[in-house]
Amino acid sequence: MDLVTLGETLVCLTGQEAGRLETVRTFRKSIGGAESNTAIGLARLGLRSTWLSRASTDGFGAEILKVLRGEGVDVDGVVRGTQPTGLMVKERRAPGDIHVHYYRHGSAAAHLDADDLDPARITAARRLHVTGVTLALGEGPRRAVRRAVEIAAAAGLPISFDPNLRLKLWTVDEAVRACRELFPYVTDLLCNEQEALLLTGTDDLEASVETLVGLGFPTVVVKRGEFGAIGHRDGDVVHQEARPVQAVDSVGAGDAFNAGYLYGQLTDLSFKRSLEVGNWAASHVVAHTGDYEGFPSLDDYRTWVDQDVEVTR
């Protein structure tokens, strides 16, 4: 197994007409979740990924497992629960102006706990990836993440962490405190610009990045959307430009970047090239509606690499 991750996947309803929720009559059903998005992204690129969680025994839970299996993600370690599946609703107030609403209190995944994890499924992987979304779901999910991180660290696995701060789920202080508890275990910090500022309590990006690097992370990556990404590793600083694209739906872009970056690391690409693959994957996702639907395939990657080689000759 190449990567193992854990968290909540929700059923996602996306308004098909522009407007506020109370005026929209048609919704498109899909699934979405930060960690499962990244797992799907890696599977599409030909790597093996495992997603751990609690999934409901309701029809939505069955759909989530069916979709993930169909995408090539291993879900054999998922525990089933009778609590309902969490719900995410996307409100398209105008083209490019998307508001996300969560209905996940008391969901099956919110009951995830450390005892639900099989250590063997974690140590069988080459990397662990976790996010702050799971930390925000409650004490049980926080215990599960901490347990997963401890198991991976004891086995010597690299651990990537995306704070993925959802301030609709908790306060800034709560989020920062919970994230910082994981910092000693993290090898690759993958945050966006706003998260870098919130985690360091500053309004200056350069100062926040310097502070994060000073905390001792071997790798710090700051995702900046249309402005690309900044990467710090072993004293080297890499500024990687974004790929121009007409954005349709930015939800899932950070997860796609994570998948592309982790693909590069798992296939022994250089740090700079891994950042470039991350930007490339994110550019695919934002050009499509949905959390994961626009994730590129291995054939897409090979075509891009071939074209890139032609351009740089």
CA-CA distance, 3 to 236, in Å (whole number)?
A: 26
CA-CA distance, 296 to 287, in Å (whole number)?
A: 11
Angle, to 10 degrees, between the axis of helix 205-214 and the axis of helix 193-200? Answer: 70
Task: Please state, in angstroms and as integers, the Cα–Cα distance from residue 89 to each residue in 66, 131, 193, 274, following that order.
Answer: 21, 20, 25, 32
Catalytic residue list: 255
Outline where the chain has alpha helix (H): 34-44, 59-70, 119-123, 132-135, 139-154, 172-182, 193-200, 205-214, 253-266, 271-286, 298-312
CA-CA distance, 109 to 212, in Å (whole number)?
A: 30
Max Cα separation, the chain? 57
CA-CA distance, 103 to 274, in Å (whole number)?
A: 35
Other Cβ atoms within 10 Å of 18 Cβ, number = 13
